[in-house]
Amino acid sequence: MSAIPGYIRLAAGMLRDRLRRARLTGDAGYTTETVVVIALLVALAIAAVAIITAKVLAKANSLNLG
């Protein structure tokens, strides 16, 4: 599960970079609603990865190899 915060840090860094570039270049044509929807989709994707990872790890740990 330690890889999940890495994904969050990466996504946050990419978002900060895009926002910085958008401020420097002016209006990129995105509305506030579009940005909010994209942020929610990213959050849902991260949550889905976390859930799938947890389920796969739980299944792998439950295997009897002996």
pLDDT tens digits, one per residue of 1-57:
455 677 788 888 888 898 888 778 766 566 888 889 999 999 999 999 999 999 999
Domain that holds residue 7: 3-62
44 C-beta neighbours (distance < 10 Å), count: 10
Question: 4, 46 in Cβ contact below 8 A?
Answer: yes
Question: How many independent structural domains does the chain possess?
Answer: 1
pLDDT of residue 2: 54
How does residue 61 score in pLDDT terms, banded at 50, 70 and 90?
Answer: very high
- Rounded to whole angstroms, the Cα distance separating 44 from 31 reads 20
- Rounded to whole angstroms, the Cα distance separating 6 from 12 reads 10
19 C-beta neighbours (distance < 10 Å), count: 12
pLDDT of residue 44: 95
Rounded to two decimals, the pTM is 0.51
pLDDT of residue 42: 94
